[in-house]
Amino acid sequence: MTKKPIQITEVCLRDGSHTVAHQFTVEQVRNVTRALDDAGMHYIEVSHGDGLGGSTVQYGKSLVNEMELIEAAVDECTNSKVAVLLIPGIGTMSELKQAHKLGAKLVRVATHSTEADVSAQHISQARELGMEALGFLMMAHSVPVDKLVEQAKLMESYGAQAVYVTDSAGALLPHQVSERIKALRGSLDIEVGFHAHNNLSLAVANTLAAIEEGATRIDGAVRCLGAGAGNTQTEVLLAVMDRMGMDVGIDLYKMMDLAEDIVGPLIPGTQEIKKGSLALGYAGVYSSFLLHSERAAARFGLDPRDILMELGKMKVVGGQEDMILDVAAELAKKEKVRV
């Protein structure tokens, strides 16, 4: 397959929703989208952190219905395209159709890296609607490379136009990214993408490793605004790519300005690698589990790292947030017995 130009999807208004406890306002989404569009961003992903339909007690209630946020983002876009995330079992066909009707042009259908078969209907439906439909294999560190290839091939057979290696836990090392991207590139006739988290401070390095192996669909989050320690910092990645002679048509200065002046003030505290997010990458736990684990730890008088380590041993996957309280309660019981 002839290599296509690199396309960047900005995820701060979706993955970043985790960081702000899904409390984005319409005005905030408009301001960020307007600035991203002006800078020339290719795609802007907007939805609940856990994708369409994620506003629930289990995953966290949104301040504003995500359809209002999608509509606002579409209204602000002149050049950029609005994207959404859909996790089958959380998001439904109905919500996909609604998002499309509001103007969303691309959907990433996300499954655990062993469960691509549940994406068939959603990918097919998106293609029928005329949307770009891409596959998103989450927790890609947790399965062997050949299994990842097998699952990516399923998504390709359903009509996916690209498949992402998704490092949901920020646990992959650069050589592991390279081998996964290389394997998919050698096995698929469609584009390959990469989505990183920065829990081990490797998001930019891992993204560059993916690009070097031929990934052309790349994710970033302005100011690292994403779950855990955030995603690949978009403005940093763009600066590095420019130094390497890779021009993707996005204005670096404008990205730097919006990171500082518009996105920065939205972030509660600082988006850096602290002990909780470091534990996510070390234990290989889904990045959006951090806030839930910290809340559970406070409730039961525990160290959130102990909860994350236990979740890592159990090999929990996205969508199992309900297990966090169970694990915390069990650990608290054991702690009480020791005392």
CATH 1.10.8.60, the chain: domain bounds = 288-338
Q: With bands split at pLDDT 50, 70 and 90, how would you rate the model's confidence at 270? A: confident
Contact 13, 32 (CB under 8 A): yes
Phi, psi (deg, nearest 5) at residue 200: -110, 20
Binding residues for substrate: 14-15, 168, 195, 286
18 is known as an active-site residue:
yes
Distance from C-alpha of 158 to C-alpha of 121, rounded to nearest angstrom: 8
For 9-36, how does the pLDDT look when each residue is reduced to its tens digit (9 = 90+)? 999 999 999 999 999 999 999 999 999 9
Q: With bands split at pLDDT 50, 70 and 90, how would you rate the model's confidence at 339? A: very low
SS3 107: strand
Contact 235, 255 (CB under 8 A): yes
Please state which of the four CATH numbers 3.50.50.60, 3.30.450.40, 3.20.20.70, 3.40.50.150 is assigned to the domain occupying 7-266. Answer: 3.20.20.70
Residues 6+ apart with CB under 8 A from 164: 108, 134, 135, 136, 137, 192, 193, 194, 195, 217, 219
Question: Which fold would CATH assign to domain 288-338?
Answer: Helicase, Ruva Protein; domain 3 (1.10.8)
- Name the residue among 230, 236, 229 with its Cα closest to residue 250: 236
Q: With bands split at pLDDT 50, 70 and 90, how would you rate the model's confidence at 44? A: very high
Q: With bands split at pLDDT 50, 70 and 90, how would you rate the model's confidence at 3? A: confident
- Name the residue among 42, 40, 41, 49 with its Cα closest to residue 13: 49
Contact 224, 18 (CB under 8 A): no
Give the model's pLDDT for residue 1. Answer: 52
Q: Between the CA of residue 332 and those of 72, 200, 275, 283, 305, what are the distances in Å?
A: 44, 28, 20, 20, 13
Quick one: CA torsion of 136, 100, 228, 41, rounded to 10 degrees?
90
Give the model's pLDDT for residue 337. Answer: 57
Is the pLDDT assigned to residue 315 strictly greater than 90?
no
Contact 155, 110 (CB under 8 A): no
Give the model's pLDDT for residue 188. Answer: 98
For 122-165, how does the pLDDT look when each residue is reduced to its tens digit (9 = 90+)? 999 999 999 999 999 999 999 999 999 999 999 999 999 999 99
Mean pLDDT over all residues of the chain?
Answer: 95
Binding residues for Mn(2+): 15, 195, 197
CATH 3.20.20.70, the chain: domain bounds = 7-266
Binding residues: 14-15, 168, 195, 197, 286
Distance from C-alpha of 295 to C-alpha of 307, rounded to nearest angstrom: 11
Is the pLDDT assigned to residue 93 strictly greater than 80?
yes
| Across 111-129, average pLDDT | 97
Q: With bands split at pLDDT 50, 70 and 90, how would you rate the model's confidence at 338? A: low
